[in-house]
Amino acid sequence: MAVPSTLRAYGCEQRSEPAQLTQKEAKAASVPSTFRAYQYEKFGSPDCELRLRESVPTSRLEATQLRIKVHSAALNPADQKIMQDFGLAITGRQPSAEAPFGMGFDVAGTVVETGDNVTQFKEGDAVYAMAPFSSFGTFAEYVAIEEQFVALKPENVTFEEAASVPYTALTSYQALFEHASLKEGERVLILGGSTATGSVAVQLARAMGAFVIATAIGCQDYLLVESLGANQVIDVSRQKWANVVDAHSVDVMYDCGVERKAWNYDAQAALKKDSGRYVTINPMMQPRAAKFGAKCIGEIMVHPSAEQLRELSSFIESGALKPVVDSVYSFERLLPALEKLKTKKARGKVVLRAAY
């Protein structure tokens, strides 16, 4: 999980701790002076270090922030990777008793307060967002987030469905279009079509007019990926995709975290010579030089973007992109939800519901 040089540009700079509201100020803002949130004071296993705090002080909003009453928040593998493996590399700091870390990036809920300089939202708006790497912590009853990362929730989806979208949809949108520059009429091979990122990638690529080939494991995954609109689905529990895809026939290959060594082995033989592009969300260890001229873009890291969320909303509202939710857990059952995610058997997103 490498940290790109552009990380700071995407809102990952360190910030000083915000001032806390007094009870009088909180009451005036129609929010409680404290709220419940999951936090940890040390890196480590969620079983050992993650706590549900009952009385987290409500912070004063910055001028460009919104306060969102969280309805739902979705889980991502990055939540545990930051807590257990890469937290210091990603954030540049350590959690502590004085400044604990929250958990969670995806959020959908209702605006209950706006900063003085907020211009696009008002109290009562239903919104969704991906929190930046500098201030994640959406597994909470309330979250403060910069206006630049927030978009109105599409009206034709539930809060649970909306919460499932930002991190994975932005990841796949950026991988396919920002990094790989997928174009209408091109052929894309998506490794892991039934994963959370893969299910979005299949739909986005189809909506943009690409010919979509995607891999799946087993009958249920196959049927899911087929239902999402893939032109061709390969069940890799029965045959290797490398034996099915024609040599040098793929314009873009997108690994959704299922084949760490794809570039070094079969990918280059499937990608078009000189013009093929390979992108992955996996860390790449010692990638080999290109044999036939295809470009190895390598691992990408998602960045939050309200502008791109608005574009994704248009896909959702048109029916071209349908959120895929595997399961919904109550707020108190975050640990079982994290365990479900770790099994890698979820078809779509695992969602935490904070409000009823």
Looking up residue 90, the CATH number of its domain turns out to be: 3.90.180.10
Q: Tell me which DSSP letter residue 243 carries.
A: G
Flag whether 289 is in a domain: yes
pLDDT of residue 269: 96
pLDDT of residue 4: 42
Distance between CA 85 and CA 181 in Å, rounded? 31
Q: Which residue type occupies 54?
A: E
Flag whether 318 is in a domain: no
Distance between CA 344 and CA 324 in Å, rounded? 15
pLDDT of residue 287: 87
Please name which of 137, 104, 253 lies closest in space to residue 193, comparing C-alpha atoms: 253
The answer to whether residue 15 scores a pLDDT higher than 50 is no
Q: Tell me which DSSP letter residue 20 carries.
A: B
2 confidence band (pLDDT: 50, 70, 90): very low
Q: Which CA distances in Å does 104 have to 57, 107, 118, 214, 334?
A: 18, 8, 23, 28, 11
Same domain for 154 and 30: yes
Strand, helix or coil for residue 215: strand
Here the CATH number for the domain that contains residue 192 is: 3.40.50.720
11 confidence band (pLDDT: 50, 70, 90): very low
The answer to whether residue 271 scores a pLDDT higher than 60 is yes
pLDDT of residue 5: 39
Flag whether 283 is in a domain: yes
pLDDT of residue 347: 86
Distance between CA 20 and CA 277 in Å, rounded? 48
What are phi and psi for residue 287, nearest 5 degrees?
A: -65, 140
CB of 285 within 8 A of CB of 129? no
pLDDT of residue 284: 87
pLDDT of residue 17: 55
CB of 103 within 8 A of CB of 51? no
Please name which of 327, 199, 322 lies closest in space to residue 258, comparing C-alpha atoms: 199
Strand, helix or coil for residue 148: helix
Same domain for 215 and 123: no
Mean of pLDDT values over 279-296: 91
Q: What confidence tens digit (pLDDT) does each residue in 213-251 have?
A: 999 999 999 999 999 999 999 999 999 999 999 999 999
Flag whether 309 is in a domain: no
Same domain for 145 and 65: yes
Flag whether 99 is in a domain: yes
Task: Return the minimum-mean-pLDDT range out of 21-30, 45-54, 142-151.
Answer: 21-30
Same domain for 175 and 115: no
266 confidence band (pLDDT: 50, 70, 90): very high
pLDDT of residue 285: 81
Flag whether 274 is in a domain: yes
Mean of pLDDT values over 57-74: 97
Same domain for 289 and 161: no
Same domain for 97 and 77: yes
pLDDT of residue 14: 44
Mean of pLDDT values over 326-344: 95
Same domain for 35 and 159: yes
Please name which of 218, 158, 232, 150 lies closest in space to residue 189, comparing C-alpha atoms: 232
Flag whether 184 is in a domain: yes
Distance between CA 205 and CA 241 in Å, rounded? 19
Average pLDDT, the chain: 92
Query: Can you read off the two tokens belonging to residue 276?
Result: 């093929």
Mean of pLDDT values over 54-72: 97
Flag whether 137 is in a domain: yes
Same domain for 290 and 183: yes
| Burial environment of residue 209 by CB neighbours within 10 A (0 to 12, 13 to 18, 19 or more) | exposed
Residue % of the chain over a pLDDT of 90: 84
Same domain for 287 and 172: yes
Mean of pLDDT values over 150-174: 98
Contacts of 294 (CB under 8 A, 6+ apart): 267, 268, 271, 272, 273, 274, 275, 276, 277, 278
Strand, helix or coil for residue 334: helix
Same domain for 194 and 58: no
Total domains, the chain: 2
| Residue pointed to by tokens 């004071």 | 41
Q: Where are the beta strands (DSSP E) in 250-345?
A: 252-255, 277-280, 295-299, 325-330
Residue % of the chain over a pLDDT of 70: 92
> What domain range includes position 213?
168-299
Task: Return the minimum-mean-pLDDT range out of 27-41, 196-210, 323-337.
Answer: 27-41
Q: Where are the beta strands (DSSP E) in the chain?
A: 34-40, 51-57, 65-74, 101-102, 106-114, 126-130, 142-146, 150-152, 187-191, 211-216, 232-235, 252-255, 277-280, 295-299, 325-330, 349-353
| Residue pointed to by tokens 């979820």 | 346
Contacts of 307 (CB under 8 A, 6+ apart): none
Distance between CA 1 and CA 78 in Å, rounded? 9
Decide: pTM greater than 0.85.
yes
Please name which of 236, 192, 185 lies closest in space to residue 209, comparing C-alpha atoms: 185
The answer to whether residue 9 scores a pLDDT higher than 60 is no
Same domain for 138 and 14: yes
Same domain for 148 and 69: yes
